[in-house]
Copies of this chain bind each other. A is one copy, B any other.
Amino acid sequence: MPNATIRDVAREAQVSVASVSRALNGHERVRPELRARVQEAAARLGYVPHAGARSLSLARTSAIGVVLPDLHGEFFSELLRGMDREVAAQKLALLLTVLQDGRGLNTLAALRGQVDGLVVMAPQLGAAELRAQLPAGLPAVFLNCAPGLAGAALRVDNAAGAAAMVEHLVAAGARAIAHVAGPVGNVDAEERRAGAVAAAARAGVALTVIQGDFNEASGAAAAVQVARGEIQADALFAANDAMAIGALVALKGHGVAVPAQVRVAGFDDIPLARLVTPALTTMRVDIAALGARAVQLLARRIVAPAEGLVEVGPADAEAIVPRLVVRDTTTETDRERQS
């Protein structure tokens, strides 16, 4: 007998199943004496309600699905940490699905009946493609997705962040910037590039785009071009920290002084950024807050229909603006020689 059911408890407490359900769910109209008897019986049998059955009956699973691309490292864990924080507060559970390239196409639809809503991050999928895969009628919040989907949209304002960084570099004395872009087709990468290009144009400084792929090696490769003088630049702005760190190491290897000769900047503020020498200037995105906010928005959409105050639609779209974190790779300070 693996587990007791509500009927076992009813028999044990000599009441009906309805009373057991009411007693355990804290209904009003239950005599205290009976409630106590039921609770006692439940405890005696080690009864735990069967979540699946309950969700079938309530048409509510108390779980939300998270659909993510194949992420690495800090970003992934911070996002989940933020989501979990909020999910716990709302007494929900998290069902995680990673969208690998091959599989995962019908995977999304299969979530019907298993979750009450979806937080989707699929920067590589088009709106139409995505819409086709989503189970109809499930509330959803989209993170950095193609625009125009039926649900709340939450994004990182990459363009504004990149622009802020370019402005900072210019203020720090840069006159020719090399931007190491992320992989083509990646929305974040595109937005950062566009923001950087626009800001450079506004500031009247030269900006050369070098193609990268978000990995360290490509940052290093770009740095080598700069070090050899193949590309004229007194600042190297990478679209993420991994590439910036790769570049930093490569520049050091080629005897280029940072930030004296070339300023270096990244994006994301991964933990490693403040540990490298010199410490990396970068844009910090509060990933945990992003995750928490996504869950919050979703939770609101889930209860909303019940409340009658639906007002859904793609109305609410929000953007998280990254914050500039100035460290040693862009400003000459007396801390330069230390640590």
- A interface with B by C-beta (< 8 Å): 2-3, 46, 48-56, 61, 63, 70-74, 76-77, 80-81, 84, 88, 93-98, 100, 103-104, 109-114, 135-137, 245, 249, 252-253, 271-272, 275-276, 338-339
Contact = CB atoms under 8 A, between A and B. Distances in A.
Q: Say whether chain A's binding surface is mostly helix, strand, loop, or mixed.
A: mixed
Nearest to A248: B275
A103 B88 CA distance: 8
A51 B339 contact: no
Contacts of A70: 81
A14 to B, nearest CB: 24
Number of identical monomers bound together in the oligomeric complex: 2
Given A80-B76, A249-B339, A276-B275, A136 B46 contact: yes
A104 B135 CA distance: 30
B88 A93 contact: no
Nearest to A2: B137
Contact of A100 (B88, B100, B275): B88
A97 B93 contact: yes
Q: Which 8 A-B pairs have the closest CB atoms?
A: A50-B113, A2-B137, A51-B114, A51-B113, A76-B77, A52-B113, A77-B77, A94-B96
Contact of A110 (B51, B104, B110, B249): B51
